[in-house]
Structure 1
């Protein structure tokens, strides 16, 4: 059977139609600002998010970094979750390159920081302290859409204290689709609460490369300068922008298919003794494996053509290159691991690499 790659929604291949859009894209030099495909994408995503402007970036990490550096000066501080992507998984870029101090706060299982903790972390205007300038949130959180009421309360609190707000919306379209109804209106409801938002095209939307930072024209002008400084000024990047534009036009509604497949996977795995399924609200399923057998299960699945990751428990991510047959194969292979006897399987898989 064809390999079933559930490591991430970043592993997708461009569809035939997307490749055709890329090959047909008119090109210019985006550093000079005259690539028509990049300009069209930026105008399109700015309109979708209701922001004044947008800037095409090479990655979500670059988009978040340039956004934070556009919001903050050296010696400023941003409040962020202890396990948030912008703090924990982006190489410390804001601190290393922007001299922006992170103020990480504890989060609950849903990724929420207590409002009282956010308020207490905001520093007074005193030269002893870094200047608190920005609140960063993330949606979705480990595959869970952030509650709209919480987003409203947290951003209201930030504004009351004069802070700007930034949303790491790598999978915010998944959150919008999960709410049901008009996904684009749902997206607007979410991002209207924030001064800026970073949106990935290379995850569930299925483009090969790229993210966009959306915000005010002034903020985007500052971010453009930072993008150049960190090496993100690309030339004929319209090839990539065309893929992202195609994804926005054709791949948003189909995210519901990924969510349905994640539910199918979660239901199948939940029936297997020894597994505890933690999340399947969008396209990400987390699974805890009893008796420390997670690495052995990963190795077993790898040999049978099913790929997952094991950084935060076992993580399975559905996407446009996965179908129902692939999900059923993953469930059957997992069931086989336990049916054969975990200890026997663990012995056979000793020394096998874990991805």
Structure 2
């Protein structure tokens, strides 16, 4: 029986090229700014996205939480979609780390518009928290990999500038969005005050995310990373893998998207599936007749690992360790379930 792991794109193993890059990494003490591989990664990522500077962190949760603390003060409020990872899956860090409240909106599969955001910006009033930050997510995890285009982002950025708000991007799967939309990474920097680029999801690096911003933002963010316990020493071995991923794994994301479309098409034909969320990137969400946990167990018995996201919703995520023969096997199982 074949095993296919569709739980997440975080389950990947380093490729041979990554391992070779890690083996030859030049390292030093990053807290002293002396790790050459980390410095190179931070410079590369910042240039790629049109930003001034970068900061390598152990996780996307840390980069997001540092950004929120950089761009807010206690008693402030941020605006995000109700599905946002920063709100749902970062352990209550917005309140704990930054003493900030959250205004949740109901976007279309997590996608916000200026028309949704503007009425939720608080007026200057002693009774209200100060609205200071908008957080977008690209791609939207709970939205089934739904993407923002730069055409959608630009008016949100203009609204934020006009109203004196900061704009942060949780770019957990930003490279998937770039491959889908055809937008240029270098065009992102003009719109955002902070961008978190995750390297351990679709790009397949073993660990890490990079926070991008202005030099002054990243200088303060580096202090916050230390306070959060994220100061790393000879972590260039990890940064070398991440640099390799940026150089070699972005273009291949289209394969993951193709695999996701194949699975979605087959699921749409299954009598035990009541609906499939339209696929754009590498996430497939589908609703089931039976409880989702029952379906997850049935698939596990056939060697297919996946997760439920609701009582009757299951998620597949394709990635670089899912190969065409595994997709064929999964399709055969779906047909027989």
Same fold (TM over 0.5): yes
SS of 1:279's equivalent in the other structure is coil
Moved more, 219-228 or 143-152: 143-152
Q: Does the Cα contact within 8 Å between 2:169 and 2:195 map onto a contact in 1?
A: yes
1:65 correspondence with 2:92: no
Q: CA deviation at 1:266?
A: 1.2
**Which residue of structure 1 aligns with residue 74 of structure 2?**
74
SS of 2:184's equivalent in the other structure is helix
- Please, what TM-score do these two structures have when normalized by structure 2? 0.95
**Which residue of structure 2 aligns with residue 16 of structure 1?**
16
1:183-205 Cα deviation digits (max 9, x unpaired): xx622234432111101000000
Q: Does the Cα contact within 8 Å between 1:4 and 1:305 map onto a contact in 2?
A: yes
Question: How many residue pairs are counted as aligned between the two chains?
Answer: 331
Higher helix share: 1
**Structure 1 unpaired stretches of 5+:** 338-355
1:123 correspondence with 2:125: no
**Which residue of structure 1 aligns with residue 157 of structure 2?**
155
Residue 210 (structure 1) aligned to one of 197, 208, 211: 208
1:303 & 1:48 partners in 2: Cα distance?
A: 43
1:169 correspondence with 2:168: no
SS of 2:10's equivalent in the other structure is helix
Q: Does the Cα contact within 8 Å between 2:9 and 2:318 map onto a contact in 1?
A: yes
- Please, what TM-score do these two structures have when normalized by structure 1? 0.90
Q: Which runs of 4+ in 1 moved over 4 A?
A: none
SS of 1:10's equivalent in the other structure is coil
**Which residue of structure 2 aligns with residue 111 of structure 1?**
110
**Which residue of structure 2 aligns with residue 97 of structure 1?**
97
1:329 correspondence with 2:329: yes
2:134 & 2:223 partners in 1: Cα distance?
A: 22
**Which residue of structure 1 aligns with residue 284 of structure 2?**
285
Matches within 5 A, 1:249-328: 249-275=247-273, 276-290=275-289, 292-312=290-310, 313-328=313-328
Q: CA deviation at 1:136?
A: 0.5
Q: CA deviation at 1:58?
A: 0.5
The 1:145–1:114 alpha-carbon spacing in structure 2 relative to 1, beyond 3 Å, is closer
Q: Does the Cα contact within 8 Å between 1:78 and 1:102 map onto a contact in 2?
A: yes
1:14 & 1:81 partners in 2: Cα distance?
A: 33
Q: Does the Cα contact within 8 Å between 2:49 and 2:188 map onto a contact in 1?
A: no
1:179 correspondence with 2:178: no
Q: CA deviation at 1:114?
A: 4.7
Q: Does the Cα contact within 8 Å between 1:167 and 1:191 map onto a contact in 2?
A: no
Q: CA deviation at 1:236?
A: 0.6
SS of 2:284's equivalent in the other structure is strand
Q: Does the Cα contact within 8 Å between 1:178 and 1:282 map onto a contact in 2?
A: yes
Q: What is the alpha-carbon root mean square deviation over aligned residues? A: 1.4
**Which residue of structure 2 aligns with residue 347 of structure 1?**
none
Q: Does the Cα contact within 8 Å between 1:270 and 1:277 map onto a contact in 2?
A: yes
The 1:20–1:157 alpha-carbon spacing in structure 2 relative to 1, beyond 3 Å, is same
